[in-house]
Chain A
Amino acid sequence: MKCVTGDLEGSKAALKKLLPAGDILTFDFVSESGMRFSCVFADPLTDKDLLGEQVVSPLLHYDGPARAEDVMHKLTSPEQRSERALDKLAEEVLTGNPVLLFADMDTAVIVGTKRIPVRAIAEPSTDVAVKGPREGFIEDFKTNTSLVRRRLRTPELRIDLLEVGRRSRTAVAVCYLEGTTKREIVEKVKERIKKIDIDIVADSSYLTHFLSSRPYSLVKQVGTTEKPDIFCAKIAEGRVGILVDGSPIALTVPYLLVEDFQSSEDYFVPPHRATFTRLLRLFALLAAIYLPAYYVSAQLFRLQLFPVRLLLTISGAIRDIPFSPSLEMLLVLLVLETLNEASVRMPKYVGMALSVVGALVLGETAVSAGFVSTPAIIIVAFSGIGLYAVPNLIEQTSVLRLAMLLIAGSVGTYGVLLATAFVLLYLVTTENYGAPLFAPFAPVVGRDLKDSIVKYHLQSMKLRPETLKSPNRRRLG
C-alpha cells in the first residue's frame, strides 16, 4: 500500500499517476508563513467556492507547526479527516472530495466539499397520487436517505451502508427498523448484496436480479417504489428497504404480489373506496390479460362464448379481413406495443404527432382498408388501458398477455385455463426471504387479508402483516 510522504511533489505526482484523467486538477498555494500546500480535486465534482472559503482562505494565514491535526483545526469545513493511503485518497477525489497535501507532512486531509449536481425533488411519474405526499426519490443518495430519516425519526431506523460494483463502487443503503424487521431477512439481504460481483451498478434494478430467489423468473420478486412515504410505510411493516446511489427507484423485500394492487392513495381515502379501486385494478388487469385471448379463442374454437347478437356483429365486422382471427389480434397487439414503446422514447412534441398517427392512421384507416376489424381494435385498446391499472406489473403482465394470446390461438380456451392453472401453481410456490409471494391468499393469512384486495379501516389493522414475521407485531395501540 502506497502512502503519502513528506515530499509534496512526490505525493502529488503519485496521486496524479493514479488519477491521470484531465479533469483531475491540482491547486498549489503557499501560506504567509511560507508553508506549501497542494489541493487535488475532481473539477466537475468539487465546489470550488467552498474549497476557497473553507480550506484555502484559513490556510493562507496558517503559521503553526507542520502537523495534520493543527492544520485540520484551522479548516472551517465540518467534514474532514486525515488519510495516508494513496488509493483511498484517489477514491475520495473521484467521489468529489478534494485532498489536501502538505509539504513535510506524511498525512493528507480529505475535505468534504463535493458538489454533485442533483435535480430537485419532484413528484414521480410512475407513482402519482391525487391525495397524499408528492415527494419522490431522486438520484442523490444523501437526499434519499434524508427523505427517509425525515419520516422515520426513530433511533431504531438503521441505514447500513454497503458498496457494490468493482468499478462504480456504488453506495447501497440497507434500511430497516431494528426490532421490527426480522433479523434473518436483514442478514439475508446483506449477504446477497455482499455476494454481488459486478463491475458497475447503473441502477437499483441491477440489484433486483441478485435479490430474487428465482432470478430467471418472469415473476417480480422485489418491490419497487419511487415514493419515500411508501418506502417508509413498507419498512414500518417489517420489510427491508434498499436505496442505491444514482437511482430514484428504491427496492423493498420481501415482496408480496398484492403490494402492487395497493396504492399510497388507498390509505388516504375511505376504506370502501380503496376496496373498490383495488377490485377495479384487479378486474382491469385480468381483463387486459385475458380479453384478447378470450376473443381469439371464442372465434376460433367456441363461438358460444359470445352472445348470438354480438357474434353476428363480430362476424359481420371480420368478414373479408385477410388474416385469421388470431393473426389479426397478434398484429394489432404488436402495433399497440410498438406505439407504446415509441411514445415513451420519443420527444414529447413528436409523441403528440405519433399518437395522432397511431389513433387515426393505424386505427381508422386500417379498419377502413379492411386490414383489421373494429372489434379487434376495441379489444386491444381496452386491454392496453387495463394493463396500466397496475403500472408496477407492466413488464410481467404484457408478456403474460402475449403468452395467453399465443396459447389461445393455438389450443383455445382450455389452453388458457391450463396456463392460468400453471401460473397459479408457480405463483403459490414462489417465496422470497421466507414470505410467500401469493400471501395472504396462499397460504391464507386471515389477518393480512384486511389489507389485500379488500381494505379495512386503519383502526382494525392493529398488527403488522403476519407474513413478514415481524418480532414486533403490534403497530396500533
Chain B
Amino acid sequence: MKKFLKTLPSKLWILLFAAVIFTFFSNDFGLVDIQKTAIILAAGIDRTEQGFSVTAQIAVPDSSDRTKGGTSSVNIEAEGATVSDCISRIYSKTGWVPKLVFCNLIVMGEEAVKEDVVSYLNYFLRNEYMPDSCLLAVCAGTAHELLVSESAIDDSSSIAVTKLFSEEAKKSGKVLVTSLKDFAIGYYGVSESGYLPFVRMTEQVHAGEKKDETRPEEERRMIYSAEETAIFSHGRMVALLPREQTLAFSMLQGNVFAGTFNARDGDEPVTLSVLTNDGGVKLSFSRGPRVEFSLDLRVRLCCRGLAASMDDIAGDEVKGEILASAEEILSGYVRDLYETATESGCDLFHLRRDLYRSSLSRYAEWKEALPAAAVPSYRVRVHSTK
C-alpha cells in the first residue's frame, strides 16, 4: 500500500498528461472556435407580419493577402416568431455559429418601435454572452435597409453608424447615445422612459472612379446622420426630437464641450461655439411640483454670416446682444423640449425617479401626475469668453 501511494503521484501525472494531450488534439467538447464563428457586428430588427425579421451584419475577414486582415461584412436576414428564432435561422443558413459578443449596435426599424421594444430586446438582456454596452438606435424605414446599405465612409454600414455615436460626437451635442444597459435602466426604473438616437440615411452620389460595363451607373453610397432623437415611454416610441431639442437635451445633461449653435446679431446669423457647459434639471416642491431647467454656457464666436473686419475676427468677446439672443433661442429649445416630452407622456428628465429617490411619500402622492403636473421655469445664462 505504501509503495503504491509513493508511486501514485507519478502515475497521476502521467494520467493527467495523457488527458491533457487527448483534449488538446481532439478539442471537441462543444468548442466553437474562431474558424466556426460568425462575428456579428450589428443586428437590425424589423417587425413583420409573421413576427420579426433580424438582419445580422457579420464580419468577413479578408484573406486574399494572408499578411493582412480586413473588415468587410455580409448581411444575413432571417424571419421568425421571436428574435431568438431569427438568430437560430441565421445559424442554419450560414453554418457559422453566430456570436454576439462583439455586437456593438442594435438598430430597430421605424415600425418595430411602435410597440414595446423590450418585447424583443429582452432576448439580448437575457443573453449572458451579449454585451449590454452595445448601442441602440432607431432608424427611418427598416433596419434591414440601413444595414445592407453601402456606406460612403466605411466598409461596413454598422461601423459607419457607430462612428456617429462616438464620445466626440456626444460632446458636440448633435447626438444622444444610449446603450442597451442604459435603456433598460430607464425602462425598468420608475420613470419608465428613455431615448434613442434616430438614424436617417441619405444618398451620397459621386462618380465612380472609372465607368465600366459592369457598373454603368453611378455608385449609390449612403451617409448617415443621427441628429434627431426618438423618445420612449413604457418601451414605445412616443415622439421624435428635432436636432435643436437634441442639442438642448445634451446641454441640460452638461455634455456639450465642443458643440456649436446659431444665434443672431440683429438680423445677421452667427454661430457660437460652446466652451463650457453646465446644465441641470431640478425638481422642487412649493405649492406643487416645480421643475427648473438651468443652463450656464461659456461661448465663443465661431462664425458670422457676413464678412467681418479683422478687429472683429481678432476680438474674443461676444457682444451682449448676441448673448441675449443666444439665451432666448436656447430657452426656446428647452421649452419646446419640455413640451414635447410632457405632451408625449415621456418622463425624459427622470422627474419621477428624482422624486422617488428624494421622498417616498411624495413619490406615492405625485407619481401619476408627473411630469405633466410640474410647473417649469427656465434659467439660461450664456457668457462670453474673456
Report A's interface with B, CB cutoff 8 A.
216, 299-301, 303-304, 308-309, 311-320, 324-327, 330, 367-368, 370, 373-374, 406-407, 409-411
Known contacts A304-B102, A409-B27; is-contact A315 B59 (Cβ 8 Å): yes
Q: Known interface pairs A406-B21, A411-B23. Does A312 touch B33 (Cβ–Cβ under 8 Å)?
A: no
Inter-chain CB contacts under 8 Å: number: 89
A318 to B68, CA, bound (A): 10
* Contact partner, A312, options B23, B39, B66, Cβ 8 Å: B39
Q: A300-B34, A316-B63, A319-B61 are in contact. List 10 more A-B contacts (CB 8 A).
A: A304-B102, A309-B71, A314-B69, A316-B62, A317-B63, A324-B35, A325-B35, A326-B27, A367-B67, A409-B27
Tell me the bound Cα distance from A368 to B102 in angstroms.
Answer: 29
Task: Tell whether, in the assembled complex, residue B31 and residue A304 are in contact, meaning their CB atoms are under 8 Å apart.
Answer: no
Across the interface, name the chain A residue whose C-beta is closest to B102. Answer: A308
Contacts of B99 in A (CB 8 A): 303
Known contacts: A303-B99, A311-B102. The answer to whether A370 contacts B68 by CB under 8 A is no
Q: State whether A303 touches B24 (Cβ < 8 A).
A: no
Given contacts A303-B34, A324-B27, contact A312 B69 (CB under 8 A): yes
Q: Known contacts A308-B104, A410-B24: does B39 contact A374 (CB below 8 Å)?
A: no
Say whether chain A's binding surface is mostly helix, strand, loop, or mixed: helix
Question: Is the CB–CB distance between A304 and B66 below 8 Å?
Answer: no
B 39-75 contacts with A by CB, 8 A: 39, 41, 59, 61-63, 66-71
Please tell me which one of the listed residues B20, B62, B66, B104 contacts residue A407 in the complex, with CB atoms under 8 A apart. B20
Q: Which of A300, A309, A313, A367 contacts B27 (CB 8 A)?
A: A300
Q: Is B179 an interface residue (CB 8 A)?
A: no
Contacts A300-B33, A308-B104; A315 near B39 (Cβ below 8 A)? yes
The yes or no answer to B4 lying at the interface (CB within 8 A) is no
> What are 16 A-B contacts defined by CB distance under 8 Å?
A301-B33, A303-B34, A303-B39, A304-B101, A309-B71, A312-B59, A312-B70, A315-B39, A315-B61, A319-B35, A319-B63, A327-B25, A367-B67, A406-B21, A410-B24, A410-B27
Q: A308-B102, A406-B20 are in contact. Are A316 and B68 (CB under 8 A)?
A: yes
The answer, yes or no, to whether B149 is at the interface (CB within 8 Å) is no
B68 and A313 contacting across the interface, CB-CB below 8 Å = yes
B37 at the interface (CB under 8 A from A): yes
Which residues of chain B are near A312, meaning CB under 8 Å? 39, 59, 61, 69-71
* A318–B69 alpha-carbon span in the complex (Å): 9
Query: A367 vs B68: C-alpha distance in the bound complex, in angstroms?
Result: 11
Given A312-B71, A315-B59; A370-B66 close (CB under 8 Å):
yes
Complex contact A367–B66 (CB within 8 A): yes
Q: Which residue of B lies closest to A216 (CB)?
A: B10
Asked whether B31 lies within 8 Å of A300 as measured between CB atoms, the reply is yes
Within 8 A of A (CB), among B1-48: 10, 20-21, 23-25, 27, 31, 33-35, 37, 39, 41
Q: With the chains together, A427 CA to B25 CA distance in Å?
A: 29
Chain B's closest residue to A315 (CB) is B61
Contacts of B67 in A (CB 8 A): 317, 367, 374
Residues B66 and A410 in contact, CB atoms below 8 Å apart: no
Known A-B contacts A303-B99, A304-B101, A410-B27; the reply to A316 vs B61 at CB < 8 A is: yes
Q: Which of the listed residues B21, B59, B61, B70 has the most CB atoms from chain A within 10 Å of its own CB?
A: B61
When distances are taken between beta carbons in the complex, the residues of chain B under 8 Å from A409 are 23-24, 27
Whole-angstrom distance from the CB of B59 to the nearest CB of chain A? 5
Interface string of B89-103 (1 = CB under 8 A from A): 000000000010110
Using A303-B102, A319-B61, A407-B20 as known contacts, say yes or no to A373 and B66 having CB atoms under 8 A apart: yes
Contacting residues, chain B, for A319 (C-beta < 8 A): 35, 61, 63
Residues from chain A with a CB closer than 8 A to the CB of B20 are 406-407, 410
Q: Are A374 and B33 in contact (CB under 8 A)?
A: no
